[in-house]
Amino acid sequence: MSSNNVSEEILELINHGDNNRVAFRRHTGGPNLLSKILSSFANASGGKLIIGVGDEGKIYGCKKDSVVETFNKAKEKLTPCPKMLIEFVELEKKQIAIISIDKTEKIVASSLGVFKRADHSDEIMPTEEISEKILNTTADDFKSTVNEMAQQITQLTISLEDTVKRYQEKNKLSRKIIEWVACGIIGIVLSMTINFLIG
């Protein structure tokens, strides 16, 4: 597809606004937040994340090298990593990043937990959906274990969300330290759990 066609497609998406298959972000938000957004698309119907465009459709642009670096770090925080493609187009003489994310059959966990795209936002994936998705790719012998572990995954995700919200009022350094520690612990537990269930 030519760059003109891609630019036209992106302008059309911007005109239609945010939905369950398209999200706009002015910035990446860092590897942890980006991994959460990417996983939420993969766990739902797939879609496109457009970086350098605000919710209101205003084109701000982005720094290509910075976005690529953050994208690569975010991919390392996904278990398993879904199929994705990153492209850059120029709109209004500014670089825009488009990340296309494929839908996956297996659950994709991010460093912040397990999420899915719903109601134009990234929602915590309910225990029942985690169970159902895992059971579709897991032998019958593991059903009871899967249900129990799915509840634990959801609870870990909720706990992490609560922790991050609780410390949002604190200074930036404290918030960053808490986020790094929490993400590290939750990420390790989720990675081990998901790998055990689908590996």
* 91-103: pLDDT as tens digits: 889 999 999 999 9
The CATH classification number of 3-101 equals 3.30.950.30
Contact in structure between 148 and 156 (CB atoms under 8 Å)? no
Contacts with 41 (C-beta within 8 Å, 6 or more apart), sequence order:
21, 23, 47, 49, 101, 103, 117
The most confident of the ranges 14-18, 74-78, 123-127, 158-162 is: 74-78
DSSP class of residue 52?
T
CA-CA-CA-CA torsion for 70, 72, 74, 75, nearest 10 degrees?
170
Packing angle of the helix pair 143-166, 127-135 (nearest 10 deg): 140
pLDDT for 144:
56
- pTM for this entry: 0.72
In this model, does residue 42 exceed pLDDT 90?
yes
Task: Give the domain ranges of the chain.
Answer: 3-101, 121-198
7-16, 70-79, 134-143, 149-158: which has the minimum mean pLDDT? 134-143
pLDDT for 73:
94
Q: How far is CA 3 from the centre of its chain?
A: 26
What does each C-alpha distance from 97 to 8, 38, 62, 121 come to in angstroms? 14, 14, 7, 19
Q: What is the average per-residue pLDDT within 48-70?
A: 93
Per DSSP bridges, beta strands 115-118 and 94-101 are: unpaired
Q: Which tokens sit at 14?
A: 């911007």
Contact in structure between 85 and 100 (CB atoms under 8 Å)? yes
Is residue 80 reached through a cis peptide bond, with omega within 30 degrees of 0 on the bond before it? yes
In this model, does residue 56 exceed pLDDT 70?
yes
Contact in structure between 117 and 44 (CB atoms under 8 Å)? yes
Percentage of the chain exceeding pLDDT 70: 65
Percentage of the chain exceeding pLDDT 90: 36
In this model, does residue 175 exceed pLDDT 60?
no
The three-class DSSP label of residue 103 is: coil
Structural element, H or E, at residue 115: strand 115-118
